[in-house]
Amino acid sequence: MSNCPVCLSIDGFPLKRPPSRNMWTLYFDCPVCGYFGIDDDLAGDFLGENSKGATRRIRAALSHWIRQNQNKSRDTLNVHLETYKEVADGKIGLPTPAKAALSILRYIGDKVQETGEKLDGLPAEFPAEIGTTSRQTAIEIIGQLESRGLISCHDANTLNQYDVIDIDLTLEGWELYQSEQSENNPPDMVSLL
Ligand SMILES: [Zn+2]
């Protein structure tokens, strides 16, 4: 198994190292999903590359869940069948596009503030952090935020697909970023998106 069992490495970012095993758990270090353990029957049967049950939405929601929970836990995150079933049943899902748009603004604002520089490009983990069905969906939302004057970026072609580089917030984007951080004055994304 050379691809990530969750995202199938379809964005073109190969595993950082070969998978390892401890009893019935397989460990993967995926640039998109992060480092996690997964029951081997879940990885092989339910998430196998030929599995029809594991839709793009299910894989994206699971990838997002892994990223969110990795950030909260100090130990290696293990994915069990129960979690997969909750994702398949829609109990664990993806944020709405409006929420994803707000997360994108927050993510870019945080990174630019941290480094003082524009983002050269979108990191591999971007769609999993934000919670979009694919990298292309995340890029499409960025395109909409750009056309609404909240984000500045340039188009690029990397990994043989459409991508964006030199990403920053505009003045309007920074205003929204700052008001979003103030709990008393939440932004009205509906009017912006
Ligand atoms: Zn992955």
The pair phi, psi for residue 10, each rounded to 5°, is -75, -15
Same domain, 70 and 102: no
DSSP state of 193: -
Angstrom distance (rounded) from CA 153 to CA 136: 15
Q: For residue 22, what are the contacts with CB-CB under 8 A and spacing of at least 6?
A: 37
Residue 7 lies in a domain: no
Distance 157 CA to ligand 1 centre (A): 22
Angstrom distance (rounded) from CA 174 to CA 152: 11
Same domain, 78 and 145: no
pLDDT at 181: 81
Distance 155 CA to ligand 1 centre (A): 25
Mean pLDDT across 19-29: 94
Distance 190 CA to ligand 1 centre (A): 31
Distance 90 CA to ligand 1 centre (A): 20
Residue 127 lies in a domain: yes
Among 53, 70, 88, the domain-final residue is 88
Angstrom distance (rounded) from CA 20 to CA 118: 36
Confidence of residue 49 (pLDDT cuts 50, 70, 90): confident
Same domain, 74 and 156: no
pTM of the model: 0.89
Among 39, 63, 88, the domain-final residue is 88
Amino acid identity of residue 89, one-letter, is: D
Query: For residue 192, is pLDDT > 70?
Result: no
Same domain, 184 and 105: yes
Tally of domains within the chain: 2
Same domain, 76 and 109: no
Computed from CA positions of residues 123, 129, 134, 136, in that sequence, does the dihedral angle turn out positive or negative? negative
Residue 155 lies in a domain: yes
Query: For residue 193, is pLDDT > 60?
Result: no
Same domain, 112 and 186: yes
Q: Which of 47, 53, 5, 51 is nearest to 30 (CA)?
A: 5
- Give me the domain span that covers residue 152: 97-192
pLDDT at 189: 54
Q: Sheet with 34-39: list strands edge to edge.
A: 20-22, 25-30, 34-39, 77-79
Angstrom distance (rounded) from CA 91 to CA 170: 36
Q: Which of 24, 22, 26 is nearest to 4 (CA)?
A: 26
Same domain, 188 and 119: yes
Q: How many CB atoms lie within 10 A of CB 120?
A: 10
Mean pLDDT across 79-100: 95
Angstrom distance (rounded) from CA 151 to CA 183: 22
- Report pLDDT digits (tens) over 63-87: 999 999 987 878 899 999 999 999 9
Residue positions counted in the chain: 193
- Report pLDDT digits (tens) over 135-172: 999 999 999 999 999 999 998 876 556 789 999 999 99
Distance 66 CA to ligand 1 centre (A): 9
Same domain, 102 and 172: yes
